[in-house]
Amino acid sequence: MDTMRVIFYKNIRRYGMIIALIGIMLFFQILTAGTLLTPLNITNIIMQNSYIIVLAIGMMLIIITGNIDLSVGSVAAFVGALSAIMMISYDLPVLVSVFMCLFLGAVIGAWQGFWVAYVNIPSFIVTLAGMLLFRGLTLVVLDGQTISSYPAGFKSISTGFIPDITPDNPLNVLTLIAGAACSLIYVMYEWKGRKDQIKYGVQTSTFPLFLAKLVLMAAVILTLTYILASYAGIPFILIILFALIIGYTFIMNNTITGRHIYTVGGNEPAARLSGVKTKKMTFWVFVNMGILAALCGLVFSARLNAATPTAGNLFELDAIAAAFIGGASMKGGVGTVFGAVIGALVMGVLNNGMSLMGIGTDWQQAIKGLVLLAAVAFDIISKNKGS
């Protein structure tokens, strides 16, 4: 009975937000008379929240190390402004401009990481200063004006779709094939993971529960891809997000770097004494955040087809909220990339569903605040009961 109790609370903490996301989607599906889960709206949810998902992945790593980054929205706006200057005002090639913007994001991250890691200034102060600095520089670069009309190749990052192999088919065949392949890969990965856990004596869930999880997740993947196939197929931005999720999940779960990041956040003095280069790890996590903030700025500008002085407002709050809803801990050392993505989707579906219902932005902010508080309280309560 005690073993089942531990497994139950372990899975509740791990999959609670997935269940909550499905519940929220069904709730708004009913209240919006079926509008939420239409192919067009699902595609819009993915595109509208892509840049927040990018930020949430980087923010999760920052929070795992026990730090915070308040500057990401301003950095995204600043990089977006510079991308407009490069591509629109100076007509530089898209690839050259994108590379330069990502490099600039790395430099900004290195700048902030240096003060946090090597000068020991709290990340809250450093990134608060960065938020003010790069918001001001954005206004300077744009001179308070909006610069619009990016090249078509750049806009396709956020608004384009992968061409189908059979253009005249009412369903996007390539999307259906991709969905089936992803489901199969997921099942094989989870099956192998369970076999390894059993082999090494790691406690696992019961087989019926494991099988139910596989069926549910495979059904979600197939349903999502069918919905996308009913509209225009797979957006380019979804491929970028998929690559980021897979890449960062692998790094955090299967590499020494990932284990060191968790160690730094879990117990920094012990990590340092055991030989982990804690300052270096903190520095590179901020460099990574700078790159992802730059990517966020590019994705947002491509979707908006413009660089504006107000771009990126409150992005940092959405990213932080997504990380905590997704299971991060204020004490550091806890959190997953997949959890950050689920947290971002929870916020995105809430925004979209309330907008479809005609709820004003004032009430939307209030409700999102309550959801954030409830998610953190749920995590703390479940941990206390599971311990």
Other Cβ atoms within 10 Å of 245 Cβ, number: 16
298 lies in the same domain as 262: yes
* H/E run at residue 242: helix 236-254
264 lies in the same domain as 300: yes
Q: Helix, strand or coil for residue 235?
A: strand
50 lies in the same domain as 174: no
What is the secondary structure of 115-162 as a DSSP string?
Answer: HHHTS---HHHHHHHHHHHHHHHHHHHHTT--EE---HHHHHHHH-BP
List Cβ neighbours of 41 (8 Å cut-off, separation of 6 or more): 35, 352, 356
269 lies in the same domain as 144: yes
Question: Are 288 and 107 contacting, i.e. CB atoms less than 8 angstroms apart?
Answer: no
d(CA 44, CA 234): 12
131 lies in the same domain as 50: yes
273 lies in the same domain as 198: no
Other Cβ atoms within 10 Å of 269 Cβ, number: 8
β-pairing verdict for 147-148 and 306-307: antiparallel
In a domain, 249, yes or no: yes
In a domain, 129, yes or no: yes
Contacts 24+ apart (CB under 8 A), 109-112: 109/286, 109/287, 109/288, 109/289, 109/290, 109/291, 109/293, 110/283, 110/286, 110/287, 110/290, 112/69, 112/71, 112/286, 112/290
pLDDT in the model for residue 1 = 45
Domain end residue (candidates: 320, 343, 366): 343
d(CA 194, CA 372): 32
The radius of gyration of the chain's CA atoms, rounded to the nearest angstrom, is 21
Domain end residue (candidates: 191, 216, 233): 233
247 lies in the same domain as 324: yes
Domain end residue (candidates: 214, 233, 252): 233
190, 255, 75, 115 alpha-carbon torsion, rounded to 10°: 150
φ/ψ (deg, to 5) at 159? -120, -5
What is the secondary structure of 265-334 as a DSSP string?
Answer: HH-HHHHHHTT--HHHHHHHHHHHHHHHHHHHHHHHHHHHTEE-TTTTTTHHHHHHHHHHHTT--TTSS-
98 lies in the same domain as 187: no
pLDDT in the model for residue 383 = 62
155 lies in the same domain as 195: no
d(CA 172, CA 177): 9
Alpha carbon 279 to chain centroid, angstroms: 25
Going by the DSSP 8-state scheme, the letter that residue 238 receives in this structure is: H
Question: Are 49 and 235 contacting, i.e. CB atoms less than 8 angstroms apart?
Answer: no
310 lies in the same domain as 322: yes
d(CA 347, CA 372): 9
d(CA 264, CA 363): 38
pLDDT in the model for residue 14 = 59
In a domain, 133, yes or no: yes
Burial 190-202 (b: 16+ CB within 10 A, else e): eeeebeeeeeeee
Burial class (CB in 10 A: 0-12, 13-18, 19+), 317: middle
Q: By residue range, what is the domain housing residue 171?
A: 161-233
d(CA 170, CA 261): 46
109 lies in the same domain as 180: no
Q: Which residue has the tokens 């929205």?
A: 73
In a domain, 368, yes or no: no
In a domain, 15, yes or no: no
Sign of CA dihedral 188, 190, 196, 201: negative
d(CA 308, CA 79): 11
Please give the chain's pLDDT, 387 residues, in tens: 455 555 555 555 556 777 788 888 888 999 998 899 899 999 999 998 999 999 999 999 999 999 999 999 999 999 999 999 999 999 999 999 999 999 999 999 999 999 999 999 999 999 999 999 999 999 999 988 999 889 998 999 998 999 888 877 788 899 999 999 999 998 898 888 888 888 887 777 778 878 888 888 888 889 989 999 998 889 999 999 999 999 999 999 889 999 999 999 888 888 888 888 999 999 999 999 999 999 999 999 999 999 999 998 889 989 998 998 888 887 888 889 998 999 999 889 998 999 998 888 888 888 888 877 877 777 667 666 655
In a domain, 359, yes or no: no
* H/E run at residue 170: none
Domains of the chain: total:
2
47 lies in the same domain as 145: yes
In a domain, 353, yes or no: no
In a domain, 218, yes or no: yes
